[in-house]
A and B are shown apart, each in its own frame.
Chain A
Amino acid sequence: MHGWDLQEVSRFAGVKSAALVSAEGLILSRSGRVPAVLYAHLAHAFSSDDGSVDGDRTAEQIELHWENGILLLLPTASGLFILEVENGANIGLLRKMVLPISSRLNDTQWFVENGRRAKE
């Protein structure tokens, strides 16, 4: 399992927990405290037409702001990255660090096979 990728993400400054969820809402990998049902719900919402505006484009980045933190959603070809981050975290930098991991995941045969198994 590519849990180490999520471990890597969760060690970035300001990240409390991280998850990668498929477009169907299946949790493919996670690190730390993750409310699984919520993540699946969000993944489904932002991986379909429901999350788009201005034509058919899908948002590149979604931030849900609370008083005590931010839930950062990054739709990628590998699925939806969901990061719980602290207020004041450098979100632009986090995004730059997470997206290459997504590309790496997407290129691996492991991800294709396990993603398929997860869907089944």
Chain B
Amino acid sequence: MAFPSGHGFEEIRRKAGGLLHAKGPQDLLVATVTGLPILFRSRDREEPDLDELAAWAAELANLTFATASHLNSGELQRVELRFEKKSYLLMRDDPFVLLIRFPETAGKPLGAGRLDDLAELLQQLHEELN
């Protein structure tokens, strides 16, 4: 997988890696809303099928955020999904979607401070890729 490169992008990768800690997020993926992987960091040795994961994240983001727009409840900020063994946090900031995977041992996914970190990460990605 050929991700974007350059000094600014490496800095973003380093920050993304800093969000992964022992009891917190396991994987962090940024993809485009069309399902193209842009950035991936993991504290697992095994990497998932990124194309598949990015496609799923984009599909789910498009579905939920488009559906939510009918609610007139303001802007949908994030989606959290809990499966039997893992949970996910999904954010969308066009043209990006950000997906975080948590291990089953994680409790409540992320506090406000970490959510701000993620928003900042996406903002830097916008600036770098522009």
Q: Which residues of A contact B (CB under 8 A)?
A: 35, 37-38, 41-42, 45, 50-51, 53-54, 57, 59-69, 71
29 inter-chain pairs at a CB distance below 8 angstroms, sorted by A residue, are: A35-B71, A37-B70, A38-B67, A38-B71, A53-B56, A53-B83, A53-B88, A59-B81, A59-B83, A60-B82, A60-B84, A61-B80, A61-B82, A62-B79, A62-B80, A62-B82, A63-B80, A64-B64, A64-B68, A64-B76, A64-B79, A65-B76, A65-B77, A65-B79, A66-B73, A66-B75, A66-B77, A67-B75, A68-B74
Q: Which residues of B contact A (CB under 8 A)?
A: 56, 59-60, 63-64, 67-68, 70-71, 73-86, 88
- In the complex, which residues of chain B have a beta carbon less than 8 angstroms from the beta carbon of A64? 64, 68, 76, 79
Nearest 9 CB-CB pairs, A to B? Answer: A61-B82, A63-B80, A59-B81, A38-B70, A65-B78, A66-B73, A65-B77, A53-B56, A62-B81
A42 nearest in chain B by CB position:
B67
* Interchain nearest-CB distance for B92 vs A (Å): 12
Would A68 and B73 count as touching, CB distance under 8 A?
yes
From A41, A53, A60, A71, name the one whose CB has the most chain B CB atoms within 10 angstroms: A53
Would A69 and B73 count as touching, CB distance under 8 A?
yes
- In the complex, which residues of chain B have a beta carbon less than 8 angstroms from the beta carbon of A35? 70-71
- In the complex, which residues of chain B have a beta carbon less than 8 angstroms from the beta carbon of A68? 73-74
A42 to B64, CA, bound (A): 8
* Interchain nearest-CB distance for A45 vs B (Å): 5
Would A65 and B83 count as touching, CB distance under 8 A?
no
Q: How many A-B residue pairs have CB under 8 A?
A: 64
- Looking at chain A's contact residues, the main secondary structure is mixed
- In the complex, which residues of chain A have a beta carbon less than 8 angstroms from the beta carbon of B68? 64, 66, 71
- Pick from A50, A54, A65, A69: contact of B86, CB under 8 Å: A54
B79 nearest in chain A by CB position:
A64
* Interchain nearest-CB distance for A30 vs B (Å): 15
B52 nearest in chain A by CB position:
A53
* Interchain nearest-CB distance for B1 vs A (Å): 19
- In the complex, which residues of chain A have a beta carbon less than 8 angstroms from the beta carbon of B63? 45, 50
Would B81 and A66 count as touching, CB distance under 8 A?
no
B73 nearest in chain A by CB position:
A66
- In the complex, which residues of chain B have a beta carbon less than 8 angstroms from the beta carbon of A45? 63-64, 67
- In the complex, which residues of chain B have a beta carbon less than 8 angstroms from the beta carbon of A63? 79-81
* Interchain nearest-CB distance for B114 vs A (Å): 14
